[in-house]
Amino acid sequence: MLSLNARLLVAASVVLAAFLGLTGLTVDRAFRDSALAAVRERLQAQIYILLGAADLDGSGALVVPETLPEARFSTPGTGLYGQVSTAAGQVVWRSPSMLGTDIPFPPIAKTGVGEFRELTGPHGTPLFVLGFGVTWEVGPDRADRYSFYVAESRKAFDQQVSGFRRSLWGWLAAAALVLLAVQGSILRWSLAPLRKVAREVAEIETG
Q: Identify whether residues 24 and 58 lie together within a single domain.
A: no
Per-residue pLDDT tens over the stretch 24-64: 999 999 999 999 999 999 999 999 988 888 888 777 778 88
Q: Identify whether residues 113 and 178 lie together within a single domain.
A: no
Question: CB burial class (10 A; 0-12, 13-18, 19+) of residue 43?
Answer: buried
| Mean pLDDT score, 163-178 | 90
For residue 147, list its beta bridge partners. 85, 133
Asked, for residue 33, whether it belongs to a domain, the answer is no
Per-residue pLDDT tens over the stretch 121-150: 777 889 999 999 888 887 777 778 889 999
Cα 14 vs. chain centroid, distance in angstroms?
30
CATH number, domain with residue 125: 3.30.450
Q: Identify whether residues 123 and 179 lie together within a single domain.
A: no
Q: Identify whether residues 44 and 18 lie together within a single domain.
A: no
pLDDT of 5: 66
Asked, for residue 98, whether it belongs to a domain, the answer is yes
Q: Identify whether residues 114 and 177 lie together within a single domain.
A: no
Nearest partner of 97 among 123, 131, 121, 72, judged by Cα? 72
Number of domains in the chain: 2
pTM (predicted TM-score): 0.77
**Domain C-terminal end among 135, 153, 171:** 153
Asked, for residue 34, whether it belongs to a domain, the answer is no
DSSP for 87-136 reads TT--EEEE-GGGTT----PPPPSSBS-EEEEEEE-GGG-EEEEEEEEEEE
The C-alpha atoms of residue 203 and residue 207 are separated, in whole angstroms, by 6
Domain that holds residue 187: 4-28+160-205
